[in-house]
Structure 1
C-alpha cells in the first residue's frame, strides 16, 4: 500500500452503499470523503449517468481514467468510485497501490433501492435485465481490484462499516 492517496477506496455497483459507507468510514477515520461521481459531474457539468448516455460508455470511461489519475494522488481520505469506474481500461492498475474494498450486493437488494433508476438512466427500459447483466459483467472486476469484499445485502450500515474498517490493512 502507498502512503500518498486515499486511505480507502470503495468499489461496487450503483446502490451498493459506497457513498453512505464512505462518509461513515471517513468520519470514523477522521479524514475527508470524496465521491468520484460528484467529481465527474463537477468536471463535466452533468451527472455521471447523463454523461454515459450523452457520450457513450467508451468516451465516458476515458474521461473517468483521466480524472482518476489526477484525483488519486490529491485525496488522502476515503474515495467512493463510480459503479463502472473500475471497469474502465487502465483503472485496475491505478488502484493497485491502494486499499480497496468491494461492497457486494445482490440483484434483489439493488432493485429495492429507491431512486436507483432515476440516477442511472442507462438502466432503462428494463432495469432488472440491465442490473443482472451489469452484476455478471462487473463482479469479477470488482473482485480483482479489491483487497476485500464486504456483503451489504439487508445489513445495517453500521455493521457494514465495521467489516469495511476491519478489512483495511494496518498502516
Structure 2
C-alpha cells in the first residue's frame, strides 16, 4: 500500500509537528502537515479562515487537504487536531498506520499557552480543551493503531515510542 509511513493525530499542542519532523529524520523521509498545506494553499492562517469563513468552511478545506496528502505523500503526515471529526476522513485513515499522540489537560494548557492563535480555545482554554477532547477522544482512538502518551516525555522519547509502537526501525 502506498501512502504515509506514519500518520500522526492528536490535539493541538501535543507535538505532532515536532515529533513528525523527528520521525521523518529518523526514517530518512519527509514530513508534511495538512494544516501547513491549507495555510499555503489559502495564503492565510487557519485562525483567519475560521474568523472569515467559519469552521464548516475550514473543515471542508481540511477534508480535501487530508484526502490529497493521504493519496500522494509517502513520508510522515500530521493532521490538524479536528481532522478526525469528519467521518469520511476517518474512513480514509483506516488502512494507514495512524498513531494518536495523547496528553492530559494540564500539559495541554502548558504547551498551547493562553496567548497563541488557537481559535477554538479563545475564551476558557482549560474548559474548552476538556470539551474538545471529550468530543474527539473516541475518534482519535478509533483511527489509531497505537496510542502514545506524550506527558512528561521529550519529543525524542515520543518519536522513539511511536517507532516502537509500530515496530519500525530507523533508516
**Alpha-carbon distance between aligned partners in 2 of 1:155 and 1:116, rounded to the nearest angstrom:** 21
Aligned to 1:136: 134
Which structure 2 segments of 5+ residues have no match?
none
Aligned to 1:61: 59
**Alpha-carbon distance between aligned partners in 1 of 2:15 and 2:53, rounded to the nearest angstrom:** 26
- 1:123 corresponds to which of 121, 124, 130: 121
Aligned to 1:99: 97
SS in structure 2 of the partner of residue 90 of structure 1: helix
Aligned to 1:154: 152
**Aligned pairs, how many?**
169
Q: Calculate the TM-score normalised by the size of structure 2.
A: 0.92
Distance 1:163 1:127, change over 3 A: same
**Alpha-carbon distance between aligned partners in 2 of 1:28 and 1:116, rounded to the nearest angstrom:** 32
- What does 1:63-82 align with in structure 2 at a 5 Å threshold? 63-82=61-80
**Alpha-carbon distance between aligned partners in 1 of 2:130 and 2:112, rounded to the nearest angstrom:** 17
**Alpha-carbon distance between aligned partners in 2 of 1:107 and 1:12, rounded to the nearest angstrom:** 13
Cα root mean square deviation, aligned: 1.7
Distance apart, 1:89 and its partner CA = 3.5
Distance apart, 1:72 and its partner CA = 1.3
Which structure 1 segments of 5+ residues have no match?
none
Moved over 3 A (4+): 114-117
- 2:43 corresponds to which of 27, 31, 45: 45
